[in-house]
C-alpha cells in the first residue's frame, strides 16, 4: 500500500456492507477481497491504532464506494488536477483520432477500436467521455462544422457593401483554400464538412442557423452585384457554389490542388467560384 493506513481505514469506513447486514446479501468473492485488504491495513508497520479499528466485523464492497466531500478531501488538489488534465488529454486525443478517420471514410466507415488505437486510449474512455461511438462522431462532426462555418462567417461579415463578385468568391472559399494549403488537421476538418454537406447526418440541424447566416451574407453581396436576379435564384447559386467546394474537398482534383502553393490555389479557385455566382450572361 502506498497511502497512509489511516486513509485506508477511512475509505473502509465509508464502504457498503456486504455480510448480509441491513438487508444487503453476502457476496463471498468481494468479502474475501475486502478482508485481504483489511489484513494489509492491519499488518502495515506504521499502523498503531486499536486492533479492531479497521476490523473485520463488517465486510464491505469497496467497488461500490460512493464519492462524497469527506473522501474528496483525502486526495490532494495536485493529484486531482493531474487526473483532470489527463482526462482532457484523453478526450482531445479521441476527438483528434475521430476527426482523422471521419475525414477519410465518413461516419459509417469508422470503428470504435480504430479510434481508440489511434488515440492510444481504451474503449472504456469513449464511454466515459462521450457515452458511445455515435456520440463521439457527432461531437467531432459538430466541432468541425462550427469551426468551418465560424471562419466563413467571419470572412463574409468583413465584406463591405461594395464588394465585387471576386471578393465574395475569395471570402466564401477562404476556409477551403486555407485548408487545402495547410493540409493536416485543417484539411481533415474541411473533408468532414464536405461529407456532411453531401450527406447530412441526423441532427445536423443544430447548426442550421449558422448555415443560413453564411448564405444570407453571401446573398447580400450577390444582390448588389446582380440586381436583376431574384433572391431565390441567388440563394440557389450560393448553394451550388458550396456544393462545388464540398465536392472539391473529396475529389482527386482537390488532392492535386492541395499540392500547389497557396497563391496558386487562390488564382485557380477564385475565378471558378466567382463564375458560379455570376452565372451565364
Q: Which of 72-86, 100-114, 137-151, 169-183 is the least confident region?
A: 72-86
Per residue in 248-262, pLDDT (tens digit) is 988 898 889 989 999
3-state secondary structure labels for all residues of the chain: CCCCHHHHHHHHHCCEECCCHHHCCCCHHHHHHHHHHHHHHHHCCCCCCCCCCCCCCCCEEHHHCCCCHHHHCCCCHHHHHHHHHHHHHHHHHHHHHHHHHHHHHCHHHCCHHHHHHHHCCCHHHHHHHCCCHHHHHHHHHHHHHHHHHHHHHHHHHCCCCCCCHHHHHHHHHHHHHHHHHHCHHHHHHHHHHHHHHHCCCCCHHHHHHHHHHHHHHHHHHHHHHCCCCCHHHHHHHHHHHHHHHHHHHHCHHHHHHCCCCHHHHHHHHHHHHHHHHHCCC
231 pLDDT higher than 70: yes
Q: What pTM was estimated for this model as a whole?
A: 0.61
Between residues 202 and 160, the one the model is more confident about: 160
| 276 pLDDT tier (thresholds 50, 70, 90) | very high
Tell me whether residue 219 is exposed, middle or buried, using C-beta atoms within 10 angstroms of its C-beta: 0 to 12, 13 to 18, 19 or more.
Answer: buried
Max CA pair span of the chain: 97
The whole-number pLDDT of residue 65 equals: 37
As a whole number of angstroms, the distance between CA 50 and CA 253 comes to 78
As a whole number of angstroms, the distance between CA 155 and CA 148 comes to 11
C-alpha cell of 243? 456544393
- The rounded mean pLDDT for the chain is 76
Per residue in 110-162, pLDDT (tens digit) is 888 999 998 888 888 888 888 888 888 888 888 888 888 899 999 999 998 88
The whole-number pLDDT of residue 75 equals: 53
As a whole number of angstroms, the distance between CA 148 and CA 239 comes to 16
As a whole number of angstroms, the distance between CA 104 and CA 135 comes to 18
258 Cβ contact partners less than 8 Å away, ≥ 6 residues apart: 180, 181, 183, 187, 265
As a whole number of angstroms, the distance between CA 276 and CA 244 comes to 9
Positive or negative, the CA dihedral 133, 130, 250, 113 is negative
Per residue in 63-80, pLDDT (tens digit) is 343 444 444 455 566 667
Question: What is the arithmetic mean of pLDDT over 80-96?
Answer: 82
As a whole number of angstroms, the distance between CA 139 and CA 144 comes to 9
The whole-number pLDDT of residue 221 equals: 94
% residues pLDDT > 90 (the chain) = 29
C-alpha cell of 235? 440563394
Residue pair 54/42 in contact by the 8 Å Cβ criterion:
yes
24 pLDDT higher than 50: no
Q: Which of 72-86, 150-164, 172-186, 264-278 is the least confident region?
A: 72-86
Amino acid at each position: 500500500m502506498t497511502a497512509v493506513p489511516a486513509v485506508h481505514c477511512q475509505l473502509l469506513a465509508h464502504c457498503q456492507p456486504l455480510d448480509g447486514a441491513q438487508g444487503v446479501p453476502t457476496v463471498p468473492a468481494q468479502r474475501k477481497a475486502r478482508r485481504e485488504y483489511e489484513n494489509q491495513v492491519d499488518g502495515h508497520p506504521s499502523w498503531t491504532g486499536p486492533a479492531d479499528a479497521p476490523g473485520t466485523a463488517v465486510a464491505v464492497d469497496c467497488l461500490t464506494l460512493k464519492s462524497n466531500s469527506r473522501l474528496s478531501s483525502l486526495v490532494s488538489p495536485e493529484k486531482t488536477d493531474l487526473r483532470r488534465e489527463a482526462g482532457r488529454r484523453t478526450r482531445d486525443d479521441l476527438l483528434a483520432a475521430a476527426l482523422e478517420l471521419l475525414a477519410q471514410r465518413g461516419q459509417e466507415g469508422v470503428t470504435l477500436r480504430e479510434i481508440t488505437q489511434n488515440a492510444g486510449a481504451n474503449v472504456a474512455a469513449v464511454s466515459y467521455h462521450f457515452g458511445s461511438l455515435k456520440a463521439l462522431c457527432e461531437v467531432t462532426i459538430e466541432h468541425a462544422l462550427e469551426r468551418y462555418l465560424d471562419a466563413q462567417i467571419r470572412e463574409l461579415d468583413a465584406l463591405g457593401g461594395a464588394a465585387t463578385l471576386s471578393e465574395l468568391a475569395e471570402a466564401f472559399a477562404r476556409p477551403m483554400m486555407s485548408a487545402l494549403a495547410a493540409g493536416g488537421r485543417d484539411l481533415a476538418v474541411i473533408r468532414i464538412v464536405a461529407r456532411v454537406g453531401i450527406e447530412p447526418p441526423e441532427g445536423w440541424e443544430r447548426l442550421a442557423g449558422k448555415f443560413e447566416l453564411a448564405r444570407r451574407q453571401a446573398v447580400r453581396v450577390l444582390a448588389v452585384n446582380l440586381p436583376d436576379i431574384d433572391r431565390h435564384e441567388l440563394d440557389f447559386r450560393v448553394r451550388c457554389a458550396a456544393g462545388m467546394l464540398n465536392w472539391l474537398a473529396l475529389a482527386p482534383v482537390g488532392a492535386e490542388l492541395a499540392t500547389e502553393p497557396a497563391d496558386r490555389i487562390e488564382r485557380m479557385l477564385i475565378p471558378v467560384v466567382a463564375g458560379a455566382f455570376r452565372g451565364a450572361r
